[in-house]
């Protein structure tokens, strides 16, 4: 079957990137960098025209690459699209923005040699000429949009592993125009599609992020707290409880951060789905298509996951409050014990001081006690030394006796209160 006439190839690539230092305000941000493709193969028997444009949005750089072959330089049965695609691949490596890729779409366009020809058959031929295998146009992974003068065929393949979105996801757009006059409208179509495709790729990127977050949150939720963990924590000391408090605070912070990120991505999907449908209606008056229907199914799944994971945050907050309460109780108890110890020591010191002041009056009588007299004679102390030793010992033992007696009273009081 003959190929489409006036073949075009283009790519839409979206990257996360910080804006260049030269772009400092809104006026500079809206500027568009344009130029000819830096590398075009002109050694063949036809001439390729190509250009690129780079747009800066908030956190995204959009790079458009396009090339085409002059209409009067083609052979009807020669497949030009693989050569045009290879040209764009080479230039993409040169112009590729730094930063993570959000998504990329390959596009191919041309017009029918006869307006009465079947656009589907030409779209199928174009796709298969690119070496991507045979395609069933009735597949659920193909969307067809008809608008004035053209039919758009979207071929898409979602990744089996959402961690490999860049390598496993594939999106190809084939535009079949009815005539040469219709293909003149390609710039308008491209303008609509670059916004529509941004929304599409941002939705899939956000969904991929959610698919990464959900298993981590689910794993943490399943490792939540049980009765054995609660029983173990009852026997911990104040120091160990403070350590547990810090560890659980970090766990709560991480869980809350990841759950909030899931909510952010959920809202991103909702906003971009709305904008996707707005752009879609500029091409064709439809309320939705296969892709937006699929995204609505994703949204239901995300809502279900969020509802299942949210209680994990509440449980962690309550558990942290429990540990914090236990720390406060033990801290109060430790402070009370310290105050009581200080009180006992203070009373003992006071008793010692009183005993020391009173002992001078009774030193002579105390020295006559047999055991004291034997002790003093053993060390052969003179009267001054003997008086000092007696006074010091009376003070020490009086402090010990009074402090011990007060400690016993406090201990009995605690036991009485705990009954």
Residue 378 CA from chain centroid, whole number:
82
Looking at the domain 204-329, which fold is it?
Answer: Methane Monooxygenase Hydroxylase; Chain G, domain 1 (1.20.58)
Q: Which residues contact 214 (CB under 8 A, 6 or more apart)?
A: 262, 305, 309
Size of the chain in residues: 419
Q: Give me the pLDDT at residue 382, please.
A: 72
Spatial distance between the Cα atoms of 139 and 137, rounded to a whole number of angstroms: 5
pLDDT at 201 over 90: yes
pLDDT at 162 over 60: yes
Spatial distance between the Cα atoms of 127 and 3, rounded to a whole number of angstroms: 11
386 contacts 376 by C-beta, under 8 angstroms:
yes
Domain edges within the chain: 5-183, 204-329, 332-417
Helix (H) or strand (E) holding 156: strand 150-157
Q: Give me the pLDDT at residue 371, please.
A: 73
> According to DSSP H, which parts of 96-179 are helical?
119-129, 165-168
Start-to-end CA distance of the chain, whole Å, equals: 98
pLDDT at 270 over 90: yes
pLDDT at 357 over 80: no
Q: pLDDT band for position 71 (50/70/90)?
A: low
- 85-121: pLDDT as tens digits: 999 999 999 999 888 899 999 999 988 887 677 888 8
Phi then psi for residue 318, to 5 deg, are -70, -40
Q: pLDDT band for position 405 (50/70/90)?
A: low
Q: Give me the pLDDT at residue 126, please.
A: 87
Q: Give me the pLDDT at residue 407, please.
A: 64
Q: Give me the pLDDT at residue 375, please.
A: 67
Q: pLDDT band for position 287 (50/70/90)?
A: low
DSSP annotation of 163 reads: G
Greater pLDDT, 79 or 267: 267
Spatial distance between the Cα atoms of 275 and 203, rounded to a whole number of angstroms: 11
To the nearest whole number, what is the mean pLDDT of the chain? 77
Q: Give me the pLDDT at residue 104, please.
A: 93
Q: Give me the pLDDT at residue 199, please.
A: 93
pLDDT at 2 over 90: no
Greater pLDDT, 174 or 247: 174
Spatial distance between the Cα atoms of 203 and 209, rounded to a whole number of angstroms: 10
Q: Give me the pLDDT at residue 283, please.
A: 73
Spatial distance between the Cα atoms of 187 and 172, rounded to a whole number of angstroms: 18
């Amino acid at each position: 079957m003959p190929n489409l006439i006036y073949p075009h190839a283009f790519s839409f690539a979206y990257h996360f990137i910080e804006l260049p230092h030269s772009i400092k305000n809104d006026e500079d941000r809206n500027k568009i960098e344009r130029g000819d493709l830096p590398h075009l193969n002109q050694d063949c028997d036809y001439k390729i025209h190509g250009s690129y444009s780079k747009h800066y949005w908030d956190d995204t750089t959009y790079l458009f690459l396009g090339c085409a072959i002059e209409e009067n330089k083609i052979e009807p049965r020669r497949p030009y699209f693989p050569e045009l695609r290879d040209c764009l691949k080479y230039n993409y490596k040169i112009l590729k923005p730094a930063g993570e890729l959000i998504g990329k779409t390959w596009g191919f366009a041309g017009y029918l040699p006869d307006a009465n020809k079947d656009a589907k058959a030409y779209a199928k031929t174009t796709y298969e000429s690119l070496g991507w295998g045979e395609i069933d146009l009735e597949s659920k992974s193909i969307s067809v949009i008809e608008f004035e003068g053209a039919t758009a065929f979207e071929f898409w393949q979602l990744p089996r592993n959402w961690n490999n979105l860049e390598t496993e996801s594939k999106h190809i757009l084939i535009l079949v125009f009815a005539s040469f006059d219709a293909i003149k409208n390609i710039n308008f179509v491209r303008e609509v599609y670059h916004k529509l495709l941004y929304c599409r790729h941002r939705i899939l990127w956000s969904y991929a992020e959610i698919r990464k977050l959900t298993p981590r949150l689910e794993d943490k939720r399943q490792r939540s707290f049980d009765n054995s963990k609660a029983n173990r924590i009852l026997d911990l000391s104040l120091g160990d409880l403070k350590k547990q408090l810090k560890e659980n605070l970090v766990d709560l912070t991480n869980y809350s951060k990841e759950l909030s990120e899931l909510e952010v991505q959920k809202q991103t999907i909702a906003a971009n789905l709305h904008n996707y449908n707005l752009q879609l209606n500029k091409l064709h008056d439809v309320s939705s298509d296969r892709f937006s229907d699929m995204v609505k199914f994703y949204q239901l799944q995300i809502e279900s996951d969020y509802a299942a994971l949210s209680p994990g945050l509440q449980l962690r907050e309550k558990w942290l409050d429990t540990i914090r309460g236990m720390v406060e109780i033990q801290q109060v108890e430790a402070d009370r014990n310290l105050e009581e110890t200080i009180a006992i020591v203070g009373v003992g010191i006071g008793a010692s001081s009183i005993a020391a002041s009173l002992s001078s009056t009774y030193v002579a009588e105390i020295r006559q006690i047999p055991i004291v007299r034997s002790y003093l004679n053993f060390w052969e102390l003179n009267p001054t030394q003997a008086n000092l030793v007696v006074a010091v010992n009376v003070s020490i033992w009086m402090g010990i006796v009074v402090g011990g007696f007060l400690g016993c009273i406090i201990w009995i009081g605690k036991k009485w209160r705990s009954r």
